[in-house]
Structure 1
């Protein structure tokens, strides 16, 4: 390796940034070593507390970038004040606004993971769709960092429960999506309630128009960073099929049994189409779930968890799920209905082909939509060959089902239940074979465990008859 290459590699690592020790420890725990292109471009601004507007695609590492800025600043403030115990604080230090509930919760969890070696750090998530009472009660101890959706954050500030007069850092995550979803009034109300002297960070998949005006109005001499993430879609094979007699359900089911993906996201434009398509796929025998705006927050989170744990391999979604979800590689994306814009198409397709994996994206169109597809092809500089779907047939015996089912346990971090506790109970006490236990997820008050079907009954029986860490935990299999 040449010296130039060595220097370049060293410059693209987190170690090159001279970050505080607690953050470096957390990065090592998470096995993060190399900087992404977005992190390399934005962190010099962020670590110098300079306002910045970043144009970057979903999945480019922006969450980790602004999380590092938030926590580095928090540590510096503690050093300046000579405080190790911040229990007497009255105003939050950092505020992150996100367009969706799921993204807000995932961002909060990312920050918590990065803050694991920083004592007395409280990161709270406040979103709509759930009762506000418990959220208000939790504010009896002021958080250091708050992540939330604009509507709920505005409600808490108006009620005088969330103190923002001393906010030092502000993050607008997926700012274009915040505007698209109609939250501009709430967001601007919040921005006016914050102190003018603050460090502001804006992240958006697009830049121009409303986002540019927002940057000029609310950020101070912001650096503009545009990251062209061309490699994200370079490993994605795209194809379009013209539906026969516009029979959408038959087309989707034929594509699924032809490609037999272990994980697939299917996108529709409306909640009604999403739910109807999911119902039809379930009727045919597919392991399909849906996520759309009519579901409660708990229902949405439960669906995403089952998909992330690979207990469901087909997720039918509206475009709210196209961005900001922390999901691993998806093998196949199906645009059951063509996207309304090339930008939306790009976000949908970007759910596959991530992290150096290859992926496939298939768009189903009607004969009259060929011109719309050609426009998307041109604007995204993609190659999307068009074929007729008659060559594909639905075969019930080729349906691929998940290897695991999901068991939900009524206990989580609040009850001090860990993955190790659950593994010990299932393997050592219940006698469930280690290879029958798949992925696990522990949330505030729930645990989700992927278990092979042959061991589900044994696992449920153990939770019914025995305690875990001295606690009786109810468990049930999710459908």
Structure 2
């Protein structure tokens, strides 16, 4: 693919031999300097599909600078790890991560060194723009990663504000798990004659994930979960709908002498980092999380995903279970379904050939809950792997 020698050495060091389909199609177009709109199933290697060619550009042209926007802190940190892995044999690429929950002073020091790559969440990036600690006109490559999730989370006003500060001449890359009308509109607004890359069927579960469900009453969920955890000791990621449920469920699991971590938006950044590190390293084989972790969470060897609470949308369901069955490994997804949720379960399974017994399904129509806008929205600010390129 014409990659620089330091990048090839890093790929070889990590046993990355064969690019994934999304990487095969996207990398050449990005290296040619074209705008790209790319969509593929979760776990397809999208992160490395943009990191490799853009880092190659910085190696060839050190004055180039890259801005990567992500919806969550966890995804920002994971992209930084990919960059760190790929730059192992090249010391000329400095990276700065701008996320909420981390100290502003350390970020200001990092920005003063004029890093080649800035990875940021929209809210914290705007904080720095208003402080004038970053000049977006200096960036000539922009990546919108998990752009569908950013729209879901209400970040569109922030993205508009960011693009107003960016130079008119730039390369823009948009990566998304879906190609909804909203994503198409976003591409029309910010991309110039983009190359379109689509791999696989969108909004479909990865083929290596075996899905199943268990009908039970809500009062039986806790006891059933303990039985399931005790019968299988592999890495298990458990999803709940709310932060409060995640906390109470984590405590209940601990009472059964099962070590576990807890990950949700109200936890401090250090707590979130520790929970992810314990889970990645295997010190704790169980992680309880809200949907803050369903996008971008990249942990090897997750054997099973359990939906303790069903998600609101099929899209969220696909992303949750996409945390397992990655890089060609077999994965398992189990969903707890109460009789009252039978109709909702059918809604989540509407594009999959699994039938569900609906004899106890309620008659009322399922309506997904609205997502809240981010905390900063509308508020004034004070200035102030294995054998493929999987990532």
| TM-score, L = length of structure 2 | 0.87
Q: Are residues 1:30 and 2:14 paired?
A: yes
CA contact (8 A) 1:329 1:351 kept: no
The Cα of 1:120 is off from its aligned counterpart by: 2.5
Change (3 A) 1:245 1:20: closer
Q: Secondary structure at the match of 1:215?
A: helix
Could you say which residue in structure 2 is the equivalent of 1:383? 354
- Please tell me whether Structure 1 or Structure 2 has the larger radius of gyration of its CA atoms: 1
CA distance in 1, matches of 2:355, 2:245: 24
Q: Aligned match of 2:5 in 16, 21, 24?
A: 21
The Cα of 1:242 is off from its aligned counterpart by: 1.4
Change (3 A) 1:128 1:98: same
The Cα of 1:175 is off from its aligned counterpart by: 0.6
Q: Secondary structure at the match of 1:104?
A: helix
CA distance in 2, matches of 1:246, 1:232: 29
Q: Secondary structure at the match of 1:378?
A: coil
CA contact (8 A) 2:59 2:92 kept: no
Q: Are residues 1:131 and 2:115 paired?
A: no
CA distance in 2, matches of 1:110, 1:313: 23
Could you say which residue in structure 2 is the equivalent of 1:233? 206
The Cα of 1:256 is off from its aligned counterpart by: 2.0
Number of aligned residues: 358
Q: Secondary structure at the match of 2:25?
A: helix
Q: Secondary structure at the match of 1:136?
A: helix
The Cα of 1:229 is off from its aligned counterpart by: 5.6
The Cα of 1:289 is off from its aligned counterpart by: 1.6
CA contact (8 A) 1:232 1:353 kept: no
Could you say which residue in structure 2 is the equivalent of 1:77? 61
CA contact (8 A) 1:263 1:314 kept: yes
Query: RMSD of the TM alignment (CA)?
Result: 2.0
Greater relative contact order (CA < 8 Å, ≥ 6 in sequence): 2
Q: Are residues 1:275 and 2:247 paired?
A: yes
Could you say which residue in structure 2 is the equivalent of 1:205? 177
Moved more, 203-212 or 131-140: 131-140
Could you say which residue in structure 1 is the equivalent of 2:313? 341
| TM-score, L = length of structure 1 | 0.71
1:189-235 alpha-carbon deviations (Å, 9 max, x no partner): 11111001101101011112221111000111112222116896323
Could you say which residue in structure 2 is the equivalent of 1:116? 88
Change (3 A) 1:382 1:292: farther
Change (3 A) 1:296 1:94: same
Q: Secondary structure at the match of 2:77?
A: helix
CA distance in 2, matches of 1:235, 1:170: 32
Counterparts of 1:299-378 in structure 2, within 5 Å, are 299-378=271-350
CA distance in 1, matches of 2:353, 2:240: 21
1:411-434 alpha-carbon deviations (Å, 9 max, x no partner): xxxxxxxxxxxxxxxxxxxxxxxx
CA distance in 1, matches of 2:57, 2:92: 15
CA distance in 2, matches of 1:138, 1:360: 41
CA distance in 2, matches of 1:289, 1:116: 30
Change (3 A) 1:375 1:333: same
Q: Secondary structure at the match of 2:142?
A: strand
1:404-452 alpha-carbon deviations (Å, 9 max, x no partner): xxxxxxxxxxxxxxxxxxxxxxxxxxxxxxxxxxxxxxxxxxxxxxxxx
Q: Are residues 1:59 and 2:47 paired?
A: no
Counterparts of 1:34-183 in structure 2, within 5 Å, are 34-78=18-62, 93-183=65-155
CA distance in 1, matches of 2:163, 2:271: 31
CA contact (8 A) 1:239 1:386 kept: no
CA contact (8 A) 2:205 2:318 kept: no
CA contact (8 A) 1:264 1:313 kept: yes
Q: Secondary structure at the match of 1:110?
A: helix
Q: Secondary structure at the match of 1:326?
A: coil
CA distance in 2, matches of 1:304, 1:102: 9
Change (3 A) 1:141 1:199: same
1:233-280 alpha-carbon deviations (Å, 9 max, x no partner): 32322211111354321221222233x132101101110111111111
CA distance in 2, matches of 1:236, 1:209: 28
CA contact (8 A) 2:262 2:287 kept: yes
The Cα of 1:385 is off from its aligned counterpart by: 6.1
- Where does the alignment leave 5 or more consecutive residues of structure 1 unmatched? 1-16, 79-88, 388-479
Q: Secondary structure at the match of 1:54?
A: strand
Change (3 A) 1:224 1:42: same
CA contact (8 A) 1:108 1:123 kept: yes
CA distance in 1, matches of 2:92, 2:208: 43
Moved more, 277-286 or 220-229: 220-229
The Cα of 1:116 is off from its aligned counterpart by: 2.5
